[in-house]
Amino acid sequence: MTVKWILHWTPTPGSVVNSQILSEISQCVESFVNAVKDGRWKATLTFYRPNLRDQSIPSEFPRDFLGISLLEQPNKYYFIIRGNKIILEADSTILTIMEKLQSYKSKVALNFEGVQYKMGDFQMKVVKVVPNQGESLRGILIEIEYLPISSIEKAKPIMEEFLEVWREVMSKKSLPGHFTQTEPHFADYKLPDNYTSQHTAIQYAAALAQLIQSAQLRG
Amino acid sequence: MAHYAQSKVYESTNEGSKFSLLGCEALKTAQMQQQSQQAPPPHSTSTPPPAPPSSTGGSAAEAPPKQVALAMDKLGEAERIIADIRIGADRVLEALFVAASQPRHGTKPLQLFLKEDACMRRYLQDLRSLGKELEESGVLSESVRSRKDFWGLHMPLVCPDGAMVAYAWKRQLAGQAGASAVDRTRLALKAFTDQKRRFFPHLDYGLETNESASKKRCGSVESTVDPKEESSILKMLPDVLNYPSSNKLRLGSLGTVATEKVAVIEMLVPSTFRVVISLHPAGSTDPDAVAFFAPEESGSYVHARGFSVHHVFRHITDYAATALQYFLGNQVESSLYCLLHWICSYQTLFSRPCSKCSRLLAADKQSAFLLPPVLRPYWQFSLSKILSTISSKDHTSDITPAYHVGCFSEEL
């Protein structure tokens, strides 16, 4: 699988994330390097909370138990416990099992809706983060992909330079904010150098965690 | 980051090639054994044969596709019996060892040995009778080859060198351009390694597989070269090129079976690229076409005249065609050698910045796509220069400059 880097939009303190910024960013991508719109993309992320009868028991259950589904893997579902750096790739029928077991309840569900652009050997997605019920924009992510390489190490120099070029283009627009990359720490999750959908799931979880954190900081 | 160059042959999807060479040799031994002995009438085989009871006349009465299928089944049985024999041999030796090391433990080791011995005899007998059946149905000999029925089918054939094909005509095709790259590559590499082993036994530079050769005979030969050895293998090529005294080596002219000649060379630099080179005529050292692909690319277009889906590799393939013409024109004797060295300089494709603008990515003038430096000058590669670089023992530094397409034309 080809290597992807995911970055999240960090607005400058005092400004908000709104749909205008989203359209500006999309325009940037469209005019960047002869980009061609290539389709839509979707992923979902769900926060789970243990379903305890006695709520007063101090929870020894993980607080950050996430479930992610990706468009490119329709038959798979990914579980992540960020605190313990665990990722599990399961069949999508696990959702039926969870429903039957009723041991975990879905607390919050978010949708990632993206538009994909193709520019030569690179691909970019502009992704907006919206809650499952509702239309309010919670965050913006971009995903960069270099198609010829599947090794994370090998792709690093190329991706870094692409990011530099992208940041130059973005700076011309002088938008209130910038894109930051969360260090995904794949090795902590014991993942190999060859990129897979598990890596994607971890990156999205990390990016979302950062988004939430920065949103909380802004108050 | 260690760089490994790997030449790899795909396991053919052809059913026939899954039989080990060893198995076929054992089968032939069984056939020869039964010819030399006055073989007693075969016992009933331990596994019921799928053919009807009268094996001699029965096969002729069935439709050819069924004959072929039966023959394949029997070969599968033969393989199982051979596997049993191998395990049985181990057990016999073990029993002998036990008996020898514990002489005071009575008759128990002896019983064990007798039991294993009886098993082995039974297996060998089964194999003999199976071999007889196969011989009768024409699998082991070439006599049936000429008898083509109106289906156009031939019996599966075990060739003299032990390779197995489900249909004999496929061997013919495989030598021609019409065959799939998989077949050609497999046969090419097999022929090359066989003949290299036969005629250059002193050149054993570790090109052989790391595991014991018997384990990897199923039509797939894999060799991994580590960086220290890579130069020694490339050193070997001038020897090959200068043998015997004429400057051109024609592998096919060394008097061996001519149906297999090296026709395609494939080189993989892990995580970076895969390159396919075709030689023409087969068996010579004249490269004919070269193409670059991403390591994960697969499909019928991955051959020496195909094009990758990725822009970076398309550019390199185009440029490689020019380089190839240069090597064929200017470095006539060692064109393949220089070409391979030049290709090796692309190991740094995704890490070495352009020697002119010092950046890794630059926009292509025509398409505006961002590409790494895809041009590496080829005229610096001549036989004498390469040999002097190797002999200077400086393997780690690769000083070949790299250029973006745009940067290069300005340089000129």
Q: Which of A151, A165, A193 sits opposite B370 (nearest CB)?
A: A165
Residue B40 carries which DSSP code? P
Distance of residue B391 Cα from the nearest chain A Cα, in angstroms: 30
Residues of A in contact with B371 (CB under 8 A): 120-121
Residues A111 and A98: their CA atoms lie apart, in Å, by 20
DSSP state of A151: B
The per-residue b/e assignment along A1-38, b for 16 or more CB within 10 angstroms, e otherwise, is ebbbbbbbbbbeeeeebeeebbeebbebbbebbbbeee
Name every residue whose Cβ is closer than 8 Å to that of residue B263 and which is 6 or more positions away in sequence: B175, B184, B185, B187, B188, B278, B279, B280, B282, B283
How far is B235 from chain A, CA to nearest CA, in Å? Answer: 29
| B373 in reach of chain A (CB within 8 A) | no
Q: What is the pLDDT of residue A57?
A: 63
Q: Which of B181, B172, B200 is nearest to B260 (CA)?
A: B172
pLDDT at A204 over 70: yes
Residue B259, CB half-sphere, CA atoms under 13 Å: how many? 14
pLDDT tens, B356-370? 888 888 888 888 888
d(CA A33, CA A86): 38
Contact B370 A122 (CB under 8 A): yes
Tokens linked to A60: 């020894």
pLDDT at B329: 85
Note whether B365 contacts A: Cβ–Cβ < 8 A.
no
Residue B292 is predicted with a pLDDT of: 93
> Are the C-beta atoms of A20 and A106 separated by less than 8 Å?
no
**Residue A143 to residue A78: CA distance in whole angstroms:** 19
pLDDT at residue A69, rounded to an integer: 92
Which pLDDT score, from 0 to 100, does residue A159 have?
Answer: 92
Q: Which residue has the higher pLDDT, B49 or A53?
A: A53
Q: A147 vs B294: CB contact, 8 Å cut-off?
A: yes
Whether B271 and A154 lie within 8 Å, measured CB to CB: yes
Question: What does the buried/exposed string (b/e) look like for B171-188 if buried means 16 or more CB atoms within 10 Å of the residue's CB?
Answer: beebbeeebbbbbbbbbb
- Give the model's confidence band at B233: pLDDT under 50 very low, under 70 low, under 90 confident, else very high: very low
Residue B327 has pLDDT above 90, yes or no: no
Question: Is B298 an interface residue toward A (CB < 8 Å)?
Answer: no
- Name the 3-class secondary structure at B299: coil
Whether residue B1 is predicted with pLDDT greater than 60 in this model: the reply is no
Q: Kindly give the interhelix angle for B21-36 and B108-136, rounded to the nearest 10 degrees.
A: 90
Report the 10 Å Cβ neighbour count for B166.
Answer: 19
Q: How confident is the model at residue B400 (pLDDT cuts 50, 70, 90)?
A: confident
- pLDDT category at B317 given cuts 50, 70, 90 is very high
Q: Does B211 score more than 70 pLDDT?
A: no
Residue A179 forms beta bridges with which residues?
A9
User: Tokens standing for B162?
Assistant: 């032990």
Nearest residue in B to A151, CA atom: B271
Beta carbons of A148 and B313 less than 8 Å apart: yes
Distance from CA of B367 to the nearest CA of A (A): 7
Report percent pLDDT > 70 for chain A: 96
Q: Give residue B328's pLDDT.
A: 87
DSSP H or E run through B195: helix B181-199
Work out the angle at residue A146's Cα, subtended by the Cα atoms of residues A144 and A152, and round it to the nearest 5 degrees.
95
Confidence of residue B108 (pLDDT cuts 50, 70, 90): confident
Strand partners, B199: none
What percent of chain A has a predicted confidence (pLDDT) above 90?
Answer: 28
Q: Distance from CA of residue A141 to its chain's centroid?
A: 7
Mean of pLDDT over chain B: 67
What does the block give as tokens for B5? Answer: 């160059």
At B293, the pLDDT band (50, 70, 90 cuts) reads very high
* Greatest mean pLDDT range, A117-126, B10-19, B26-35, B45-54: A117-126
Closest-CA residue of chain A to B371: A121
The CA distance from A27 to A172, in Å, is: 12
What type of residue sits at position B131? G
For position B320, what pLDDT does the model report?
92
| Cα–Cα distances in angstroms (integers) from residue B368 to residues A3, A162, B32, in the given order | 22, 13, 68
Cα(A168)–Cα(A162) distance, integer angstroms: 10
pLDDT at B189 over 50: yes
Query: Cis link prior to B244 (omega < 30° from 0)?
Result: yes
A72 in helix, strand or coil? Answer: coil
pLDDT value at B218 more than 60 = no
In angstroms, the first-to-last Cα distance of chain B is 33
- Mean pLDDT for B359-387 is 83
Distance (Å, whole) CA B338 – CA B110? 64
Contact at CB, A120 and B367, closer than 8 angstroms: yes
**Residues A24-78 pLDDT 10s:** 888 888 888 778 888 899 999 988 888 777 666 656 777 778 899 999 899 999 9
For the residues B54-66, what does the mean pLDDT come to?
A: 51
- CB within 8 Å: B369 and A33: yes
Closest-CA distance of chain B to residue A71, Å = 21
| Chain A residue numbers touching B364 (CB-CB < 8 A) | 120
- CB atoms near residue B212 (< 10 Å): 8
Q: At what angle do helices B64-101 and B21-36 cross, to 10 degrees?
A: 90
- CA nearest B207: which of B186, B191, B193? B193
Cβ-defined contact of A120 to B271 (cutoff 8 Å): no
The model's pLDDT over A74-105, given as tens digits with 9 standing for 90+, comes to: 999 999 988 888 899 999 899 899 888 888 88
Query: Of B379 and B199, which is predicted with more confidence?
Result: B379
Contact residues, chain A, for B270 at CB < 8 Å: 151
What was the pLDDT predicted at B249? 30
Closest B-chain CA to A166? B370
Computed on alpha carbons and rounded to an integer, the radius of gyration of chain A in Å comes to 18
Task: Give contacts of A158 with chain B, Cβ < 8 Å.
Answer: 350, 360-361, 372
Residue in A151, A158, A164, A193 to test binding to B, most B beta-carbons within 10 Å: A158
Nearest to B296 among A120, A122, A150 (CB): A150
Tens-place pLDDT, residues B133-180:
887 776 665 555 555 554 445 555 665 555 666 655 555 555 555 556
Q: What Cα–Cα distance (Å) separates residue B400 from each residue in B57, B225, B352? A: 69, 21, 10
Q: How far apart are CA A197 and CA A70, in angstroms?
A: 8
The chain-wide mean pLDDT, for chain A, equals 86
For B21, counting Cβ atoms within 10 Å of its Cβ (0-12 exposed, 13-18 middle, 19+ buried), the class is: middle
Amino acid at the residue B345 = S
